[in-house]
Amino acid sequence: MEQKYDFGLIGLGVMGRNFILNVLDHGFSAAGLDLDAAKVQALKEESDGQASFATTEVKAFVESLSTPRKIMLLVPAGDPVDKVVSSLKPFVEKGDLIIDGGNSYFEDSDRRIEELSKEGLYYIGAGVSGGAKGARLGPSIMPGGDKNAYKLIEPIFNAVAAKAGVDGQDSCVAHMGSGSAGNYVKMIHNGIEYGLMQLIAEVYDIMHNGMQLSNQELGHTFQEWNKGILQSFLVEISSEIFQRKDELTKRDLVDVILDKAKQKGTGKWTSQNAMDLGVAVPSIDAAVSMRQLSALKTERLKAEDMYPRVEKDNASVLSIGDVEHTLVFCYIITYAQGLSQLIAADKEMQYGLDMAKICSIWRGGCIIRAGLLEDMMQAFARDASLQSLLLDVEFADLLNRSLPSVQKVLQYAMMHQIPGLTMSSSLNYFFAFKSGFLPLNLVQAQRDYFGSHTYERVDMEGIFHTEW
C-alpha cells in the first residue's frame, strides 16, 4: 500500500523545513509542499532517509496524507493564507484540519473558521513562537479553535513543542481557547516581546552612553543577569549580540547596525486592540512608538544639532545592580499589561483562556520565555481570578523592593537626556495603577464644563451636572 503521511506542512522556508524535521525526529511521518522547487529539494536533502515526502503539487501533497488530514501552513499572514486555503479546497475532505501557524490577525482566523466550517473543514489558528531555531528544537505553540479538532493534532504538537518545568515534563503547547484564541494569545506574546526588547534597548543606552560600559562589559553583565532573576531568552541573546564582531570591519557588530527598527505589525495590533478593549498597555504602546521614532533617522540627526546635550551631571552615580532591578521591575510591568489585556479580551471574546496555562507554555521555546514566567504561572495558580499581576502579594513585594532603583535609574536617564519612554511608561503605569486617587476628577469637571457630560460624586450616588 502506498505510504500515507501523518502530517502535512505548506511553506518550506527555513522555519517550515525545520518544523518538519522536528516532526520527523519524533517518529511521525510528514509531507511538505512549496511552489518553489528549490525549497522542496532542500527539504528532500535535509530529511534524507526519513519518512517524508516533498512536492510542488497541491493534489499530490493532499493525497499523500492520511485522513483526517492535518495540514499546517507556515506562510506569511494575510492574503497568502487565503490563497493557500483556496488552493487546498478542491482536494481536502470533510473532517480534515487546516492549521495556520503564522502571525495571522485574529479576526481573519475567526472569518476563516466560519467559512471553512460551512464546508465541514476544521481550522485552527496556532501561534508558533521561537523562530527557525525554535521550530527545529521545540517552539512554544498556542493553538485555539475547536477542541475536538485540536485533539487530532495534539499528539504531534505535544511531541514537537519545547519542554519546560521540573525535568522538562511540561510541553509548551496547550489548547488556548475557542475561535481565534491562539492567534490572540500569540499577538499579546508579540506585544510583550516588543516591550521587553525596547526595555533592554533603553537599559543598553543608559549603560553604554551614560555609564560608559563597553560592549564587552555589557556582554558580560547580561551574561551574569541571565543567571539570576532576569534569566530570559532576550537577555541571553543580547549578551551574545554585544560580544559579536563584524566580519567585514572587525568592529563590534552592534555598533555597525543602523538604529532604525522595522516591524511587521503584531506589536501595533496589540496596542490597537488594547484601545478597542479599553485596556491600558502603555509600555507596549511606547515600544511601538520607539520603533516609529527610530525610523525618523534624518530628522533625529538634524534635531541632534539643534538641541545639543547639556553637560552630564557627574554627581549622580548608578550601580549595575540598580539597572538590573529596573529591568526586573519593567519586565514585570510589561508582562502584567499584556496579561491584563488577555484577561479583558477573554471577557469580551469568551475565549475561555486559562492564564496559568498561558504563562506555563510561555516558559519554554518562545521569544519571551523567562524565569519570571514560572512565578507568574504560580500567581495565577494561587488565584485564577487575579485581574493583574500587580495585585499578587509576591509580585507586589518584588516591585516594592525594586522601586527605589527604578526611580534612581529614570532620574539618571532624564538628567542625561537619555530617552526612556518604555521604562518611564512602565513606572508611570505602576504609579497610576497604585494610586487610590487620580486627578481625573478634574477631567470630569472639564468635560461637564464644556460639554455638559455630567459627573459622579464621591459623597452621594447619582449623575450630576453643574451650570458652570
Active centre residues (catalytic):
186, 193
Report the distance separating Cα 143 and Cα 133, nearest Å.
19
Q: Give the max Cα distance, the chain.
A: 87
What's the closest the beta carbon of residue 464 comes to ligand 6PG, in angstroms? 46
# residues near ligand 6PG by CB under 6 A: 13
What's the closest the beta carbon of residue 15 comes to ligand 6PG, in angstroms? 9
What's the closest the beta carbon of residue 143 comes to ligand 6PG, in angstroms? 14
Long-range contact pairs involving 249-253 (C-beta distance under 8 Å, separation at least 24): 252/215
In which region does residue 212 sit, left (phi positive, over 0), alpha (psi from -120 to 50) or beta (all else)?
left
Of the two residues 8 and 127, which places its CB atom closer to ligand 6PG in the complex?
Answer: 127
Closest to 351 measured CA to CA, from 107, 190, 144, 147: 144
Report the distance separating Cα 445 and Cα 298, nearest Å.
42
DSSP code of residue 368 = T
What's the closest the beta carbon of residue 130 comes to ligand 6PG, in angstroms? 5
Please give the torsion angle defined by the CA atoms of residues 359, 161, 13 and 30, in that order, rounded to the nearest 10 degrees: -150
Q: Report the amino acid identity of residue 261.
A: A
User: At residue 346, what are phi and psi to the nearest 5 degrees?
Assistant: -65, -40
For ligand 6PG, which stretch binds (CB under 6 A), given 52-60, 206-214, 259-267, 292-300? 259-267
Residue holding cell 506574546?
A: 189
264 in contact with ligand 6PG (CB under 6 A): yes
Of the two residues 270 and 337, which places its CB atom closer to ligand 6PG in the complex?
Answer: 270
What's the closest the beta carbon of residue 22 comes to ligand 6PG, in angstroms? 14
Q: Which residue is nearest to ligand 6PG (CB)?
A: 129
What's the closest the beta carbon of residue 129 comes to ligand 6PG, in angstroms? 3
Residues 270-309 contacting ligand 6PG, CB under 6 A: none
For ligand 6PG, which stretch binds (CB under 6 A), given 85-93, 213-221, 258-266, 315-323? 258-266
What's the closest the beta carbon of residue 132 comes to ligand 6PG, in angstroms? 9
- 109, 129, 402, 422: residue in contact with ligand 6PG (rule CB under 6 A): 129
- 263, 289, 294, 444: residue in contact with ligand 6PG (rule CB under 6 A): 263
Pair 339, 202: CB distance under 8 Å: no
- 32, 130, 210, 338: residue in contact with ligand 6PG (rule CB under 6 A): 130
Residues 356-415 contacting ligand 6PG, CB under 6 A: 366-367
41 in contact with ligand 6PG (CB under 6 A): no
Residue holding cell 527555513?
A: 14
Residues 420-459 contacting ligand 6PG, CB under 6 A: none
Report the distance separating Cα 468 and Cα 463, nearest Å.
16
Task: Please tell me the number of Cα atoms within 13 Å of 24 on its side-chain side.
Answer: 22
Q: Which three cell numbers stand for residue 179?
A: 475561535
Residue holding cell 508558533?
A: 128
Could you tell me the CA-to-CA distances from 122 to 38, 70, 87, 117, 178 in Å, in that order? 30, 10, 16, 6, 12
What's the closest the beta carbon of residue 32 comes to ligand 6PG, in angstroms? 20
Which residues have C-beta within 8 Å of that of residue 299, sequence separation ≥ 6?
Answer: none
103 in contact with ligand 6PG (CB under 6 A): yes
For ligand 6PG, which stretch binds (CB under 6 A), given 126-134, 251-259, 390-398, 423-431? 126-134
Of the two residues 264 and 300, which places its CB atom closer to ligand 6PG in the complex?
Answer: 264
- 22, 226, 266, 326: residue in contact with ligand 6PG (rule CB under 6 A): 266
What's the closest the beta carbon of residue 138 comes to ligand 6PG, in angstroms? 12
For ligand 6PG, which stretch binds (CB under 6 A), given 124-132, 202-210, 351-359, 370-378? 124-132
Q: Report the amino acid identity of residue 196.
A: L
DSSP 291-356: HHHHT-HHHHHHHHHHSPPPPP-TT----HHHHHHHHHHHHHHHHHHHHHHHHHHHHHH-----HH
Of the two residues 193 and 346, which places its CB atom closer to ligand 6PG in the complex?
Answer: 193
For ligand 6PG, which stretch binds (CB under 6 A), given 4-12, 162-170, 246-254, 256-264? 256-264
Long-range contact pairs involving 109-113 (C-beta distance under 8 Å, separation at least 24): 109/144, 109/145, 109/179, 109/180, 109/182, 109/183, 110/179, 110/180, 112/81, 112/82, 112/85, 113/145, 113/146, 113/179, 113/180
Which residues have C-beta within 8 Å of that of residue 465, sequence separation ≥ 6?
Answer: 448, 452, 454, 455
Of the two residues 62 and 368, which places its CB atom closer to ligand 6PG in the complex?
Answer: 368
Of the two residues 173 and 398, which places its CB atom closer to ligand 6PG in the complex?
Answer: 173
For ligand 6PG, which stretch binds (CB under 6 A), given 220-228, 257-265, 338-346, 390-398? 257-265
Closest to 338 measured CA to CA, from 182, 230, 187: 187
Residues 170-199 contacting ligand 6PG, CB under 6 A: 190, 193
Of the two residues 50 and 263, which places its CB atom closer to ligand 6PG in the complex?
Answer: 263
100 in contact with ligand 6PG (CB under 6 A): no
- Residues forming the site for ligand 6PG (CB under 6 A): 103, 129-131, 190, 193, 262-264, 266-267, 366-367
